[in-house]
Amino acid sequence: MAGKKKKSVEAEPVSALPENAHIAGAGEVEQQEITYTLRENYMPYAMSVIMSRAIPEIDGFKPSHRKLLYTMHTMGLLKGKLIKSANIAGQTMKLNPHGDAAIYDTMVRLSRGNEALLHPYVESKGNFGKAYSTDMECAASRYTEAKLAPIAAELFRDIDKDTVDFVDNYDATTKEPTLLPVTFPSILVNNNLGIAVGMASNICSFNLQEVCDTTIALMKDPEHDILSTLKAPDFPGGGQLIYQREVLEKIYETGRGSVRVRAVYNYDKSNNCIDITQIPYSTSIEAIIAKITELAKSGKVREINDVRNETDLHGLKITIDLKRGTDPDKLMNRLFAMTPLEDAFGCNFNVLVGGVPQVMGVRALLDEWIAFRVESVRRRTYFDLSKARERLHLLKALEKILLDIDKAIRIVRETDEEAEVVPNLMIGFGIDQVQAEYVAEIKLRHLNREYILKRLDDVTDLEKTVADLEDTLQSKGRIRRIIISELQEVAKKYGQPRCTGLIYPSDIQTVEKEETVVADYPCTLFFTKDGYFKKITPQSLRMSGEHKLKEGDTITQTVETSNDRELLFFSDRQAVYKSHASDFKDTKASVLGDYVPAKLGMDEGENACYMAVVKEYTGYMVFFFENGKVAKVDMATYATKTNRRKLVGAYSDKSPLVAAYYVPEDGEFLLASSSGRHLLLHTGAIAAKSTRNTIGVQGMTLKGRHILQSVRPYTAGTLAKENRYRTKSLPAAGALLQAEDYGEQLTLL
C-alpha cells in the first residue's frame, strides 16, 4: 500500500556516546513506494511552480512581475525621479522572498534599456544589458536606476477601488493583489516565457493598437474575423515575419504553432558590406556570428571576408564584409537558410485561468480577458456607488439640520455628557447614528447657513451620480462601453507602429539549406584498406614523400578528381554513407588522414570498404559476391531528393561481398576463384537493376566449396590469350591460367 513504511537493520552504536545512550530513530531506514514520494513530495513542488512561478495569468503577469511592479507602485515611482535599483529590489523582498538577484533579473527584463518588451513597464538608467545579446550583461543593481514607465499607470488604474482581490504576503505583514486591473490585454501585448514542471508557456507579443482594435471588435461582434485586425505577432526586435495565413489561423485558434522571422539588412555599396540591423527575437548576435564563422571556416560559404559585431549606442548592427563580385541578396538568401538569421518562434499560449493552466487561442484569451475586465469595472462601479451613497446619506443629515441650526447647537450645548451628544442628535432630528456622528464632528465655525447650503448643492449631483452608477451596474452594455472607451484611450495614448514587418512566401527566393558554393579545384583522393581517407592537392602531392599509413594498411583506391565531387562510402554492413570531397580538409601524404567510419558516424564495428566518386548519378555500381553472383545496380537508385546521408540496403546481404566498383560505362573485369580459374566478364552482359539489394545473376560457376576470391578491372593486353578467359554466355566457369599468363597474374592478383 502507498505510504507504508518498513524498518530495517539497526546501526551500530556510536563509540563517542555513553554505552546505554539511545537516539530516537537512529539506525532506522525508511522505505517508501515511489508513488507515495511522488504524491507527497514531488506533486506539491510541481503545483507550486505551475501556480506561483512559471505560468502567467490573465493580467499578463507572473507572480514575480506582479510583486515587483506593485511594490514600485506603492513606492510612488509612477512619478518623480528614478531611484537605485537595489532599493527597489530590497523593498520588493517584502512580497517576494526569493532574493534580490532574482528580483533584479525580473526588473531588467521589464526595463526599456533591455529591449525585451514592445512596451516596457520600467524606465531605466544605466546598463540593463540587451535581450538580443548574451554577452552584453546588465550592471549590478547598485549602479542602475529605475522607475515605472507611463504605461504602467494602466496596470494600476483604480486598484484602490476594490477592482481586484488582495491577499496576505508570505509572512502576513502586508497585502498584495492577486491580479492587476489592467485596462488593456497585456497578456498579448508583451511576450512571456515560462517553463514549469511538465508544461511551459511561450506567448508572443502583438501590436498594442491591433490588440485593442481586435478586442473592441470582438466586444461588438463575437464572430469578428480576428486576422482582419490582428495581422500577426509583433516583436520588439523588429525583423520580418513570413506571413502564412493558414499558420496564423492555427495559432489564433489553438494557441500552438510557430512563425518564422528573418533579419533585416541593407547593402553598403561603398564599403562592399552587409549591415544587419534587426534580427529574430528568438536568437542572439553571438549565435548568428558563431554560425556564420563556422560556415566560412568550413568552406561552405566562401564569399565572406569578415563578420563582426558593431552594436553601439545607436542600436544593433552586425557587419559582414564581402569578397569582390559577391551578390549580397543571393548570399543573404543562403544565410537565411543556414543560420539563425531566419528563426522560428514557437507559440504556446498556456495561461492560468481561475488557477487552472489552459492552452488557449487568441479569441479564447481575449474572451477571458474581457470577462476579467468586466468584473473589474463592475467592482469599481460598485465601490464608487457605495461611496456616493455614503456621502449622500451624510448630506441628508445636513438637510435636516438646516431646518433648525439653533436646535442642533442647543442639543450639543445642553447635553451634560459627551457620550450622550450623538444619541440626543439622533432623537432630536430623527437621523441614524452615522449621520449623527457626522453632524457632531462638524467644526463650530461650519455650523452656519452658508457652509451647509454649499454642501447641500452636492446633493442633486450625488443623486444623479448614484442613479447613473446603479444603472451602470444593471447594464452589461454600459460596462462594455466603458471598457471600449478605455481601450480606445490606451490605444490612442500608447499605440505605436508595428516593429515587425510582413513578407510573403512568394516574395522569398527559396534556397536549400545544404546548397553551398564549393570551390572547384583539382585534387587526388586516396582511400585505404583500413578506411582512411586523404585529399591532397596536386601541388602538395608533388612535394610529398611516401604516404604515412598504419602498419599493415595499404592504399586501395587512388582517384584524380575535383573538390566538388560527391563521395559514396559503402560499408561492410550493406549501407552507403554520402559525403562530399569538400567536407574533408586538404591534407598531406605525411598524415594518416581522416578515419571514414568516425567521420561519417558509422555504427560501432562497421567499416568502410569502397569509395565511389560521382558528379552526377549516372552509370552503375557493380557488386561481386563470394557465391559467384554479380549485381549491376543503376547509380540513379542511390540519388535522393532529401539530404539523407545514410542509405541502408545498399547491396545484397545473401552472400559476402568480394568487391564493389563504380563504372560510369560498362567494361571488363577479371574474376578469380579459389580453384585457380579466371574469367573475363563484361558488365554489358548483365542487365541493370533498379533494386539496390538485388541478389544479381550468376556470373562465375563455382564447384564444391570454392568461392569467388578476387576481382580486378581488366586492362586490355594484360593476358596473352584474352579470348581463352572470355565467354559468350553467363554463367561460365572460366579457365585455368596458362604459363605465359601466370607471371602477369602474380602481380595482378
CA distances to 97, 235, 329, 448, 516 from 509, rounded to whole Å, are 53, 23, 10, 86, 15
Identify the band that residue 747 occupies on the pLDDT scale cut at 50, 70 and 90. very low
pLDDT in tens, 214-236: 999 999 999 999 999 999 999 99
At residue 735, does pLDDT exceed 80? Answer: yes
- Sign of torsion over alpha carbons 357, 360, 362, 366: negative
pLDDT in tens, 618-660: 999 999 999 999 999 999 999 876 666 788 899 999 999 999 9
Greater confidence (72 vs 516) lies with: 72
Nearest to 103 by CA among 71, 151, 60: 71
Q: What is the pLDDT at residue 642?
A: 62
Q: What is the pLDDT at residue 413?
A: 86
Residues constituting the chain = 749
Nearest to 213 by CA among 482, 477, 490: 490
Report the chain's terminal Cα–Cα distance, integer Å.
75
Cα atoms in the 13 Å half-sphere on the side-chain side of 573: 11
The single-letter code of the amino acid at 82 is L
At residue 2, does pLDDT exceed 70? Answer: no
The single-letter code of the amino acid at 314 is H
Grid cell for residue 200: 511551459
Helix 208-220 / helix 476-494 crossing angle, nearest 10 deg = 160
Q: What is the pLDDT at residue 506?
A: 82
**E strand spans, 354-510:** 356-359, 501-503
CA distances to 343, 500, 508 from 242, rounded to whole Å, are 10, 10, 9
At residue 518, does pLDDT exceed 90? Answer: no
Greater confidence (542 vs 299) lies with: 542
CA pair distance 152, 148, nearest whole angstrom: 6
Protein fold of 522-748: Neuraminidase (2.120.10)
Identify the band that residue 544 occupies on the pLDDT scale cut at 50, 70 and 90. confident
**E strand spans, 244-393:** 256-262, 264-268, 273-278, 304-309, 318-322, 342-348, 350-353, 356-359
Cα atoms in the 13 Å half-sphere on the side-chain side of 428: 25
Instruction: Give Rg (Cα) of the chain.
Output: 42
CA pair distance 651, 632, nearest whole angstrom: 10
CA pair distance 408, 389, nearest whole angstrom: 24
Question: What is the per-residue DSSP string for 526-579?
Answer: EEETTSEEEEE-HHHHHH--SPP--TT--EEEEEEEETT-EEEEEETTSEEEEE
Q: What is the pLDDT at residue 739?
A: 77
Identify the band that residue 380 occupies on the pLDDT scale cut at 50, 70 and 90. very high
Calculate the average pLDDT of the chain: 88
- The arithmetic mean of pLDDT across residues 537-566, rounded, is 89
Q: Please give the CATH architecture assigned to the domain spanning 379-486.
A: Orthogonal Bundle (1.10)
Grid cell for residue 480: 462594455
Q: Are 235 and 317 in contact (CB under 8 A)?
A: no
- The arithmetic mean of pLDDT across residues 10-31, rounded, is 60
Q: Are 437 and 421 in contact (CB under 8 A)?
A: no
Q: What is the pLDDT at residue 514?
A: 46
Q: What is the pLDDT at residue 490?
A: 97
Greater confidence (382 vs 41) lies with: 382
pLDDT in tens, 698-716: 999 998 889 999 999 998 8
At residue 179, does pLDDT exceed 90? Answer: yes
CB atoms within 10 A of CB 460: 9
Q: Kindly provide the b/e burial profile for residues 655-673, where b requires at least 16 CB atoms within 10 angstroms of the residue's own CB.
A: bebbbbbbbeeeebbbbbb
Grid cell for residue 183: 485596462
At residue 14, does pLDDT exceed 50? Answer: no
Instruction: Decide: helix, strand or coil at residue 672.
Output: strand
The single-letter code of the amino acid at 112 is R
- The arithmetic mean of pLDDT across residues 54-72, rounded, is 94
What region does 80 belong to: left with phi over 0, alpha with psi -120 to 50, or beta?
A: left
CA pair distance 511, 514, nearest whole angstrom: 8
Question: Pick the catalytic residue: 42, 45, 143, 504?
Answer: 143
Instruction: Tell me phi and psi for residue 736, to 5 degrees.
Output: -75, 150
pLDDT in tens, 461-515: 888 999 999 999 999 999 999 999 999 999 999 999 999 999 998 888 765 544 4
pLDDT in tens, 425-458: 898 888 889 988 888 888 777 777 777 777 777 7
Nearest to 311 by CA among 336, 283, 276: 276
Identify the band that residue 32 occupies on the pLDDT scale cut at 50, 70 and 90. confident
Alpha carbon dihedral 501, 507, 512, 518, in 10-degree steps, equals: -100
Cβ contacts of 653 within 8 Å, gap of 6 or more? 574, 693
Give residue limits of the domains in the chain: 61-159, 264-340, 379-486, 522-748
Above pLDDT 90, what percent of the chain?
62
At residue 47, does pLDDT exceed 90? Answer: no
Grid cell for residue 110: 521589464
Q: Are 706 and 691 in contact (CB under 8 A)?
A: no
- Domain 61-159 part of CATH 3.40.50.960: no
Nearest to 253 by CA among 230, 234, 236, 235: 230
Q: What is the pLDDT at residue 745?
A: 46
Question: What is the per-residue DSSP string for 617-637?
Answer: S-SEEEEEETTSEEEEEEGGG
Candidates 3.40.50.1110, 3.50.50.60, 3.40.50.300, 3.30.1360.40; correct CATH number of 264-340?
3.30.1360.40
Q: What is the pLDDT at residue 643?
A: 62
Greater confidence (427 vs 2) lies with: 427
- The arithmetic mean of pLDDT across residues 288-292, rounded, is 94
Q: Answer yes or no: 121 catalytic.
A: no
At residue 77, does pLDDT exceed 90? Answer: yes
Cβ contacts of 613 within 8 Å, gap of 6 or more? 525, 559, 561, 565, 566, 567, 581, 662
pLDDT in tens, 89-123: 999 999 998 889 999 999 999 999 999 999 999 99
Helices (H) and strands (E) in the chain, counts: 19, 33
Above pLDDT 70, what percent of the chain?
93
Identify the band that residue 20 occupies on the pLDDT scale cut at 50, 70 and 90. low
- Sign of torsion over alpha carbons 389, 391, 392, 396: positive
Q: Are 684 and 730 in contact (CB under 8 A)?
A: no
Question: What is the per-residue DSSP string for 680-696?
Answer: EEEGGGS--BS-TT---
Cβ contacts of 377 within 8 Å, gap of 6 or more? 163, 479, 482, 483
CB atoms within 10 A of CB 11: 10
